Structure 1
Amino acid sequence: MDKERAGIQSVEVGFALLEALTRSHGPLMLKDIAAAAGMSAAKAHRYLVSYQRLGLVVQDARSSRYDLGPAALKLGLASLSRLDAIRLAREQVPQFMEQIGHTMALAVWGNRGATLVHWEESPRQSITANLRLGDVMPLLSSATGRCFGAYLPREKTAQLLDEELHLAQRQKRTDLPHTQKAVDALFNVVREHRCARVVNILLPGIAAFCAPVFDSDGRLVMGIMTLGSVATFDAEWNGAIDTPLRAMAERLSSDLGWAAP
């Protein structure tokens, strides 16, 4: 029994590499992963070779940087899908989509940002959107990101927000805020409407809404998002999509024990 409790030390040691990649906001060089895990580059490399074979890690052939692989994504999504809130929402998404008539998705806050964990494509409104499960949505240019940015504590979003602000400034994006004051105004609009919206910002020709879902303590647990072509998608506040989407989010929040203030 004591030996079983001791476990396998090499597994525990190697996991530090996966943790380093999990905490990172992007791919890392071997020396940086090794340093973060507190081991030599040679030792880290041996673990990473095995992790690549298992699909837990991938290496970019051009940059030589390492990142989490498809097997790690599957594990993460499987874990998230076991949360009651996610399961509850997934069960109701098909009927929501039938009511709205557009593709819908669910997102939660992961260690890299607002992450898509469920995707339900509408058979009636086919769109071209290069999005997939596990994608992390930007805070400023996506409806999903804006929803999380508006309702999460600032310390959770500060680093990502700072990075996106600098990027918007460098790219001279006129459709995105460049200052913290402008960001605050943007998030105030989200809170005012209890929903986030983007039109022709993240994806050309695509409009989207994302509404917040809260738990019994009033904490944001997920965003419920819908998107479609601007040609057929009603992007007006209090319109044919915004209104039922907010009602859906409030219903889910209520099922999770949330009481509207």
Structure 2
Amino acid sequence: MQINLLNNKFAGPMTLIGRLPAALNFIFVTLILGFAGSTQAQSEQLDIYTENYPPYNFLVNDQLTGFSTEIVREILYRIHLPNKEISVLPWARAYNYLKNRDNVMLFTTARTAQRQYLFKWVGPIASREVYLYKLKKSAKVVVDSFEDAKKYMTTAVRDSATANQLMAMGFREGKNLELIHNEDLSFAKFIYGRAQLINKVPMAMAMELKKYDMTMDQVIPLIPLDTGTFYYLAFSLGTDDEIIREWQAALDEMKQDGTYHKLQQKYLQ
């Protein structure tokens, strides 16, 4: 039986190329390779930033690792940029670059309503459930509502989704909200009593406590701050749309072939 490849819905691009005249073959292949090369060249121009925020992105012996980090590195491998550099910066500085420079990608970034139209997005990569915590030993700190919480000092990272949400709820910097430039210092303020409250994702809280030889039994979750948003990779608005499509396609492929699930099991379960 003879099959008409030009009318066969299962025929791939390379099959069709074989049926074209030689001159058209050359033009077609040149266009395909040129388009792919152009996208890769654009991705090479990306400046990629993250912060120290376990279990998503964190340093172990000066080596960057974590759930989101491995996702980003796997995407880079799949788009043929395995050696692309990732820089670790304080969140506030990296977020400023994301807002004000072209060709910047920042992870792990909460996709909130406030940020929706400020950036381009690839994801989701993880759900986000944030709770207000106090130290268990702080018996005098009594919080049943966010109005109660305003009586105490809460620490948060400047320009983080958490900080933005708290300020939208009426918390004021210097009065009941202390904004810090990075997660480590913010958490230290909480542990040493400079702030009575902090907002964290439970798994991030557990990993931060380990640094102080503490466990989740030594903190108390009080109120959920946010249980309806997700973490994404955020790209500056000036990033070419083809890069967004390429990264999203690679992430979707990871979810389909099981790679994403294996990383979830490794870091988030």
Larger strand proportion of the pair: 2
Q: Larger relative CO (CA 8 A, sep 6+): 1 or 2?
A: 2
Do these two structures clear the TM 0.5 threshold for a shared fold by scoring above it? no
Larger Rg: 2
TM-score, normalising length from structure 1? 0.28
TM-score, normalisation: structure 2 = 0.28
